[in-house]
Every structure is written in structure tokens, then in C-alpha cells.
Amino acid sequence: MSARPPQQDMPDEVVDETDEPDFGPELVDLSGALEGSESGSLMAGAEVIKSYQQTLPNHPGVYRMLNKAGEVLYVGKAKNLKKRVASYVRETGHSNRISRMIALTASMEFITTHTETEALLLEANLIKQLKPHFNVLLRDDKSFAYILLARDHEAPQLVKHRGSRQRKGSYFGPFASTWAVNRTMTALQRAFLIRTCSDSYYENRSRPCLLYQIKRCAGPCTGEVSLTDYAALVSEAEDFMRGRSNKIRQHLSQDMQAASDALEFETAARLRDRLSALAAVQSSQDINPHSVEEADVIALHAEAGLFSVQVFFFRHFQNWGNRAYFPRADKSLSPDDVLGAFVAQFYDDKPPPKLIILSHAIEDQALLVDALSEKAGHKVDIVVPQRGEKRDVLDHALDNARMALGRRLADTSSQQKLLLALAEALGLEKPPRRIEVFDNSHLSGNQAVGGMIVAGQDGFSKAHYRVFNIKSTELTPGDDYAMMREVLTRRLSRLLKEAVPPSQIPEAPVSDEKPVEDSEAELSPSMPLWPDLILIDGGKGQLDVACAVATELGITDIAFVGVAKGVDRDAGRETFIIPGRAPFRLPPRDPALYFIQRLRDEAHRFAIGSHRARRKKAFTRSSLDEITGVGPARKRALLHHFGSAKAVERASYDDLLRAPGINQATAKLIYDYFHDEAGHS
């Protein structure tokens, strides 16, 4: 529910000092937030928050703090909403970060829950969904891959899987990377000869495929192995993935010796190859602790105001890989606070294991245990080991976290130097924080797309990449200038709607109270919404189009630079065109030149890849896709019945009725579409 502020103020509540809120990272984008409070003062924000106390219940729940533009600043949970909100109204004791958030608060929203556990789970869900400026944010949280041993067919199939677990079978994972899944699946194919082909491919085989020839499949599709023997292979594969490898190795070794004694050398050789594959799987596991059957090891290292988290996955006494995370959090937060927020968000959409090993004790650990146990349907333990094998595994994860952060700091330092060199080479006032590069791709004007890549202080930001499908019907095919005009017009028009130009951001008003802002560097986001520099892959013509679009829209806060290809398109001979300056080149070994080449090549790669994807989709598109009322199932039935879309197009009304799943109304709809000219309009 949402609470509205009453007109009169209420006296301060007694605050439970043990229920102090924890706060997340520094503000990311102040363009709208600076407008979130009329006076911008701590007192004004505190009065807004105080006005909500009368309507708040003494129940657990989740609260959201919003600025005047309706943007969510912070999401928090509370055992007692009334007491938690009252903790923000105190006149003293707030850090600058908390004071900033209070000053920017223009309204609040609340959701009550039955228990504090529900509040914790809802808080994690809302943080990941809304990405508030002041919360610890888990970034690059891609879904993990699993291996599925599907059992919805007479010959079970081995496949990679992501997403919900709706298909019948055994799931093994998570694996930290696709590479780890592919490596494990290849070894399982060699060791247990389990098929990986689709069911339709399986049903249409008349002779064994290549995988059978190279000894990576037993060939159940053509009867090379009986279904009974194949089921035994599947059972062995499942036992191995569940950690019972010694039993399988012993069984294979005995069978190999028996085959050798019986002079069945080909059989013995096949068993030897399977044993070799099993050994390869086991040797590829970096750490296989004997006391950790199913656990996630989560270690955090903090340095220079940044945080690095390493997550190792152990299942069935095997190490299934690790993944590095760099959560966005304020540098003043303790590692305990960051790790607690990370764990809650990490398991928001993942099944937790039986054991979670942490590098730091976290606040609300007992509450988190209850929440994860309730979600998983089994007991979940959270421990911080001090000695033994679990501690050794944790120390290994900490070393990885430390090294990952060191590499990131080195990369960040190098990137800062490149941005500084770029600013000097192009005559910019300061190093750009956001660079956008545009390039177009088409094939004789067909499937034309515009690509935009984004780079900043942390390197390429692929989450901000954009593809623009050229929509104009009046555009002459192959007209690069017109395509560039359409792409930039759409991009800059949307930019004006989404973000305020830097020159129009008002300065924070001066208050008589304690300052609520930190340094400019702390307030500035690493990847702002507004670009400082736009690079155009093209010569003077494309640049003139870009500058004309900016002028028409009244944009003056962006520097435009054209990058014309060198003679014979040789890298290193690019000509740079900047409005008001004569064209120039950079020295062949200038770091700024290499950096611009990387940006240009990435934009080229992205634009071409997007064009090829669109072209491939057009190749596979059928005329049946355009008929309203013919979904995937009916389309599949028609293609299976007639053999091709062309045959469907030529079919008579009576022929269409004979197709499975096609009734009279659908048959008439399809027939009219292909035989009535109005159907194509």
C-alpha cells in the first residue's frame, strides 16, 4: 500500500537504536534528484519524511524514498516501519551520504508484509528491479547455466539449460560460465556417450551421425545400443554428476580388464577411452574439497573504495567454477554491509545451496537464513569458517577476489589515462565520461541498421549499446547521410526526453545547515546518461549531418568528431574532422589513436553483427508469420503437412481443411490472405 503525507506534523517517535537503517551507494544521477526537494535542504527532506509517521503501522514492510521526479532513491526493509522511518528525522548523527538522501526525498511509498522475512525478500527483489541510487547494487547478474539430463524421452538427452526448471529431468549446476558447461558436457559425452541432439533430429535418423563415429554418442537413435544399455549409461552419468565417481571408475576398470582377458580388445579400448575421459573431468576440477558437498563460497575484498566479490560453486564435492562481481556501493560502507546486501540480491532469483560460506559475518544473518530456507524448501546454513578445509576454500576465494580487484583497478587506471590522452588529442576541456560511437550497416540498402556503442571510465558499457532499425520509407536505399540523420535524430530526441543537459542542471542551493554534498567527483556518475563526446564513423558529410541534427534540436553540450578512414582503409591513417578546425591526423603510435581505433572497430563490429542478425531473421521469415491468427503451433502443423510455405500458399481451401488442427475459420483466413489482394494491404 502507499501512504499519503498528512497535513499536520506528529511528534518524534522513540527510535530503536538497534534498528538503524543501512545505506547503499553514492548518488548516480543528480539531474533529476537535485529537483527532488524544493529547498534542497536537510530540514525540508526531514519534514517530508516526518509527515508520513502518523499513517505508518508498527508492522514489518518495505519503504521507498522518492525525489520530486518520482525516481526511487532508496529501498529499505523494516521490522517496524514506523520506527525505521522515524530514524531519518533525527537532526544530528547523519553522514553526508544519508543527509543527501534525506534532502532529496520528496515522497515515500510503503508496502506492509506479514513478516520481516517477507520484507527482506521483497526488498532484494525491488532493489534489483528499480536500481535505486543509494542502495548497494549487484551488477552484471547474468543467469547461470545448468546441465540438464532430460528424461522426457525414451533416450534421455544431455543439454545446456537456462531459465525455469519446467522440463522433466535432473539438473546439475550452477556452472559459472558457458565454457565450464561446454567442457563438462564434452567430457560427459566422451565418458558416457549420452546424446545431445534434439528429439526431432533423433527421430529422423536412418544411420548414425558424426558424434557416433567420433565416439561421443552411443547411437540409440539407430539401435547401435539397446535402450536398456543406454539407460545404464545415463544412470552412470547421473551418478558421476552426483559425486559417485569412484564407484563408476572401479566398475569400468573391472569391465575393461574382463574384456581384455576375453580378448575383446575393441571393447577394452572403448572402456579405456571412457576411463580417460573421466580422469580428464576430475583433473579439470581445481579444488575438490572432501568436506564441502554442496556450497557456495562468497568472499569479498575491499580496496581503494571499490569492492570485489568472488562466488565459487561446489556441488557433489566438485568445483563447478567461479564468477567475479563488482557491486556498486558507497566507499564508506563496511564490507559486512556490502556483503549482506549482495547475498540477499544474489539469491533473489537463484536456488540457494544447503551451505553458504561467507568471508564476513553479516547483519541479519539469522533472518537471511530463515528467508533462504523458506524459499529453497530445505535448511540453508550460513557460516564464516575460521579453520579447517572450509577455511582453506574461503582463503582461495579471497585470493581470487583480491586479484580480480587488482586487475580492475589497473584497467581503470589505464582507461583514465586513455581518456585523458583522448581529451588532449581532440582538444576537449576535460576527459569524457561517456563516449557514444555511431556506425551504419546495410547490404545494398536492405536490412539497414544503425549501431551505437558506449564507452566510459570502466571501458565498454554493453548494457548501453543500442540498435536502430532504419524505419524511414522515403529514404533512398544506401543513402548513408539519410540513415545517419534518422539514427541521430531518434537518439538525441530521446536523450532530451530522458536526461537534462549538463548545462541545465541547477547547482545545489546553499544551506545554513551542514553541507549535504561531497566532492564533485563523488557526485559524478561513472556512466552518466548524457554523452560528452560522439564519434561518427565517416567523413565530413556524415559529421555535417550530425551537427545539423544537434543544431535543430538545440543541443550544444556534446562534442562531435568525425573519423574518416585512411587511404585504402588502412588503420593508422585516419583523418579526424572537428567543427571549426582543419582536418588532422594523429601520430602513428599515439595511444589516443589506438583508443579511437578500438572504439571505431567495436562500433563497426556491433553494427555489422546487428545487420547480419536482422538479415538472418529475414531469411528465415515465412509469409505465414504475417497472418493474424496463425500462431507457432498452427504454422508448424501447416509446414509439416504441406512441406513448405509456398505449398501452403498454393493450397486450396479444401486442402487447408485437411491439415491437422486447422478448422474452417482458420482455413478461410489463410486462403483469403493468399488469394485476396486485400489480404496483403
Question: Does this chain's domain 294-406 share its CATH topology with 434-508+525-617?
Answer: yes
Predicted local distance difference test score (pLDDT) of residue 620: 52
What sign does the CA torsion over 32, 37, 41, 43 have? negative
Q: How far is CA 79 from CA 113, 114, 356, 366, 665, in A?
A: 10, 10, 24, 14, 58
Residue 62 and residue 113 in contact, taking contact as beta carbons nearer than 8 Å? yes
Task: Give pLDDT, residue 289.
Answer: 63
Residues 437-451 have a mean pLDDT of 79
Task: Check pLDDT > 50 for residue 56.
Answer: yes
Average pLDDT of span 592-613? 86
Which stretches of 29-115 are assigned E, i.e. beta strand?
61-66, 72-78, 107-112
Nearest one of 193, 196, 231 to 214, comparing CA atoms: 193
For residue 229, count other CB atoms closer than 10 A to its CB.
Answer: 12
CATH no. of 623-680:
1.10.150.20
Question: Does residue 560 surpass a pLDDT of 90?
Answer: yes
How far is residue 592's CA from residue 143's CA, in Å, rounded to a whole number?
A: 36
**Residue 206 has what pLDDT?**
86
Please give the mean pLDDT across all residues of the chain.
78
* Residue 674 to residue 38: CA distance in whole angstroms: 62
Q: How far apart are CA 361 and CA 336, in angstroms?
A: 6
Q: Which of 129-133, 308-312, 645-649 shows the lowest mean pLDDT across its residues?
A: 645-649
Question: pLDDT of 488-524, one tens digit each?
Answer: 999 999 888 877 676 665 554 433 333 333 333 333 3
CATH homologous superfamily of 17-130 equals: GIY-YIG endonuclease (3.40.1440.10)
CB 316 within 8 A of CB 294: yes
CATH of the domain spanning 434-508+525-617, picked from 3.40.50.920, 3.30.420.340, 1.10.246.90, 3.40.50.300: 3.30.420.340
Query: What superfamily in CATH does domain 294-406 come from?
Result: Ribonuclease H-like superfamily/Ribonuclease H (3.30.420.10)
Reference 470, options 439, 494, 495; nearest CA is 439
Question: Domain segments of the chain: what residues?
Answer: 17-130, 145-283, 294-406, 434-508+525-617, 623-680
